Amino acid sequence: MYVVAAKGLTKYYGALCAVDGIDFGISKGECFGFLGPNGAGKTTVMGVINCFMPPTSGEVKVFGIDVTGNPSLIKSRIGVMPQDDSLDPDLNVLENLIVYARYFDIPKKDSEPMARELLRFVEIEDKAGVNIKGLSGGMKRRLLMARALINNPELLILDEPTVGLDPQSRRSVWEKMEALRAKGVTLILTTHYMEEAEKICDRVAIMNAGRIVTIDTPVRLMSEYKGSLEDVYLKLTGRPLAA
């Protein structure tokens, strides 16, 4: 059984078709990447999987549960690292985690030690008492990752987790993702970095204009199209391979 299974997933925003009838299945423990140009529909797909919004049509099941059937049960088992910074600027780093834990009914006596452990995991434990305004962009991304882990999720959704990170921090995020996968956590990410997708994704779905143009392992795609993953991406999203 798939952790996430989508059949005919379609999402309209008013008259705009953002996701146009896509099918995919993501297995337990897999690291699955959604690639595609700006506006391809990646974040919209994440939003449907994490029950932020329902699909317009089609069927999406997470842990075998329909996203329109029992969203709160699904949400309790998912961690989400959003594309945008959604941290509370009125709270410090540690408080951001503790307040977020309340959404999952985690009492403060449990959430505080957990929050401190997660800050250690993402290596910003020295920033626990610092206001959000005092964090660099990369530190905010780390805190968002820690926040996504507060409910010990079985499925972690990461929307551009390494955007704006320096090369060393990016590598460190890859290591965290590896560590989580080693624990059996299923990972779904979006990225514009082909090197990242190649390194950490078991399979990728390349999206364009709301559709999935291919799903496969990076290795198989590169061998089929005789080029780098970036070549494959450019070809499949409409730009020709360089001669």
Ligand X SMILES: Nc1ncnc2c1ncn2[C@@H]1O[C@H](COP(=O)(O)OP(=O)(O)OP(=O)(O)O)[C@@H](O)[C@H]1O
What is the contact surface with ligand X in residues (CB under 6 A)?
13, 16, 18, 36, 38-44, 83
DSSP 133: G
Return the number of the residue (94 or 201) whose C-beta is nearest Mg ion.
201
Binding of Mg ion by 43 (CB under 5 A): yes
Secondary element (H or E) of residue 78: strand 78-81
Q: 105 burial class (0-12, 13-18, 19+ CB within 10 angstroms)?
A: exposed
The residue to which tokens 């990447």 are assigned: 33
Return the number of the residue (36 or 150) whose C-beta is nearest ligand X.
36
> Crossing angle for the helix pair 137-148 and 167-182, nearest 10 degrees?
10
Return the number of the residue (42 or 176) whose C-beta is nearest Mg ion.
42
The stretch among 17-25, 54-62, 76-84, 112-120 that binds Mg ion (CB under 5 A) is: 76-84
CB of 223 to ligand X, least distance (A): 26
Cα angle vertex 159, ends 9, 27, to 5°? 55
Binding of Mg ion by 208 (CB under 5 A): no
Return the number of the residue (115 or 173) whose C-beta is nearest Mg ion.
173
Which residues would be at the binding site for Mg ion (CB under 5 A)? 42-43, 83
